[in-house]
Amino acid sequence: MAGFNTPTKTNPKNLIKNLRKNTKALTPENLDETIYVFRTEWDADYGRRRPKAPLTREELLEPKTREWKAVANEKANWNNKAYEGTKVLFSATTDHWNFNIIQFADGRKEFSFNVFVGDSGIWHTGEVENYLVGQDEETIREWKRMVMKSFLPSVQFFLDEAQKALPGFKAWSITSSDKSTKLLKQVKDDRLVTLNQGVTFLFL
C-alpha cells in the first residue's frame, strides 16, 4: 500500500541515531530488553481484555459516524491509577482511527495509534483480536478492509495536525507487537519512522 513522503529539515536517520545514543533504553545493547519488558507487561494486561458482550456484525461493520477532529491539551479523566498525573498533549480522531500523544507524571512522553472496534478505540493487537472473537472470517475481512482504507489518510491527518500543535516535538514508543510494527512501516513519512525491532519514532 502506498504511503506518504513528507521531508523534514533534518535527516530522520540522524535524529534516530542521536536519540538512541542519548536514551539508555534504546541503545543497541538494551533495545531488545526494553521491547520485551514493555510487551510482556502489556500482554498480561491489555492482551487479556475482552468486551463485556460479543460485538454483533452490525456493531463492527456499521460504526457511528465520527468527525475528523484534533485537539491539543485535552483534559482527561483516567480510570487507571497508573495514569494519574498524565497529560494528553494531543488527540485526534478520524472515522476509524484515533491518535494520542501523552506525557506521564514523570515527564516521559508516549504516543499511540488506536483502531475503533465497534465503539472502542484499541491500540493493543491482542485486545483487538479478543474483540473480534466470535466473528466469522468474512466479517473480519470486511472490517479489516474498512479500517485499512482510511489508515494512511488518517495518519497523514494526525501528523499534520500534531505538527501544528506541537512543532519540534520528539518522542519514541514501543509497538505492541510485530503486527503493529508491520502496519506502521507502511507509513512513508519522515515524521514517523518505525524500526524492524519494534520501536517507532515521532518527529514533528
Q: What is the pLDDT of residues 32-75, one digit of tens each?
A: 999 999 999 999 999 899 998 889 999 999 887 888 888 887 66
Q: Is 141 helix (H, G, I), strand (E, B) or coil?
A: helix
* Residue ranges covered by each domain of the chain: 12-203
For 134, counting Cβ atoms within 10 Å of its Cβ (0-12 exposed, 13-18 middle, 19+ buried), the class is exposed
CA–CA separation, 111 and 99 (whole Å): 7
On whether the CB atoms of residues 170 and 15 are closer than 8 A, the answer is yes
| DSSP state letter for 189 | B
Q: What is the pLDDT of residues 17-36, one digit of tens each?
A: 888 888 899 999 999 999 99
For residue 154, pLDDT over 60 is answered with yes
Q: Is 86 helix (H, G, I), strand (E, B) or coil?
A: coil
Confidence of residue 82 (pLDDT cuts 50, 70, 90): low
- Whether the full predicted model's pTM is greater than 0.95, yes or no, is no
